[in-house]
Amino acid sequence: MTAAALLAAVTIAFPREGQRFGPLDRCYLIGSTDGGETNLVVAGRNVPVYRTGAWGVLVDVVPGTNTVSAGGVERSFFVAPRPDLAAGAKKAPEKKYEKLPYAGDKPRKHPSGRAPGEITIVLDPGHGEADTGATSPHGWFEKDANLLLANEVRDALVARGYRVVMTREDDSFPALYDRPKVAFSSNADAFVSLHHNAPPHDKDPTKLRYHCVYAWNAIGERLARAINKRMAASFGKSLQDNGVMHANFAVTRNPEIPSCLVEADFITSPAGEESVWNPEQRKKTSAAIAAGIADWCGARQ
Ligand SMILES: [Zn+2]
């Protein structure tokens, strides 16, 4: 095969041509090759190519237009200057958060003893619409993986007889603070946000993978532990278990309705991408999450 034939097979899935970013120091580049390229050079660095032909690499970026090249393919994108560097930049207005309609700080009565048909679970597929969440090496979006997983968790819970309400059922974007409101408006017993993870900028995006559940308060933690236990049993040694972690998110801090956020896997590594988009694996993951929710519903608190 000629060098030109190898180069022609490289694609850059992220960033998109002309994509605009806020202030960044480094940007994650991801793409794929036909797998035949073994000495891929991205932005001047040698980058390993995986069995799937996927690659990912962090590169340093500068304010303004950045042009990178991967295996001969060029991609330009724009990084905004930091507000304090822009001449005459005004301070960004402070973010105003709407107070959630908490009636108080008293947890609602735990549903143990009630039939599944009298128990309502809200499922929240993370992100949506223009908010894509993380991107996988082949350019697939976390928002879509979250919805696929949530649909299957819903089906598994409905099969067990539970009432399920979704914060979104299509590629729409309910505002972050509208999501926990659905738990109130549907008089829910529990709220579970479903996500897939991406590494922080100082970790290797091609390798990092684990599952975990985030909770903020004691009522959310019990729900999170029940889900984590089933996920750990289901994944076994195939995926690292990072357990239950503490996180003060808009969707976890509900003092009345037990709430947690599941990070089912990382979609950013080639192996994670393969697993997340594998229908058999999704069936196992969704069954484990549904079983964990059902365990929590049946447990005396
Ligand atoms: Zn997410």
Q: pLDDT 10s digit of each residue in the chain, 301 long?
A: 444 444 447 888 888 899 888 777 778 888 877 755 566 787 777 776 665 667 777 788 888 999 988 878 899 999 888 766 555 655 655 655 555 555 566 888 999 999 999 999 999 999 999 888 888 888 789 999 999 999 999 999 999 999 999 999 999 999 988 999 999 999 999 999 999 998 876 677 778 999 999 998 889 999 999 999 999 999 999 999 999 998 888 899 898 999 999 999 999 888 999 999 999 999 999 999 999 999 999 986 6
Q: Say how far apart CA 220 and CA 152 lie, in whole Å.
A: 22
> What's the CA-to-centroid distance between 194 and ligand 1, angstroms?
8
Handedness of CA 126, 132, 133, 134 (dihedral sign): positive
| Beta-carbon neighbours within 5 Å of ion ligand 1 | 126, 133, 195
Q: Say how far apart CA 219 and CA 93 lie, in whole Å.
A: 34
> What is the reported pLDDT for 26?
78
Report which DSSP code applies to 128. Answer: B
> What's the CA-to-centroid distance between 8 and ligand 1, angstroms?
33
Ordered alpha helix ranges (H), the chain:
3-8, 142-159, 179-185, 218-235, 270-276, 279-298
> What's the CA-to-centroid distance between 260 and ligand 1, angstroms?
13
Handedness of CA 295, 297, 298, 301 (dihedral sign): positive
Q: Say how far apart CA 222 and CA 237 lie, in whole Å.
A: 23
Q: Report how far apart, in Å, the C-alpha atoms of 118 and of each of 153, 158, 297 are.
A: 18, 12, 11
Let me know if domain 3-79 sits in CATH 3.10.20.740: no
Domain boundaries, the chain: 3-79, 116-298
> What's the CA-to-centroid distance between 142 and ligand 1, angstroms?
7
> What's the CA-to-centroid distance between 191 and ligand 1, angstroms?
16
Q: Among the CATH numbers 3.40.630.40, 3.40.30.10, 3.40.50.720, 3.40.50.1820, which is that of 116-298? A: 3.40.630.40
Residues 187-196: tens digit of each pLDDT:
999 999 999 9
Residues 219-254: tens digit of each pLDDT:
999 999 999 999 999 999 999 999 999 888 889 989
Residues 274-296: tens digit of each pLDDT:
999 999 999 999 999 999 999 99
> What is the reported pLDDT for 42?
78
Phi/psi for 242 (5° steps) reads -95, 10
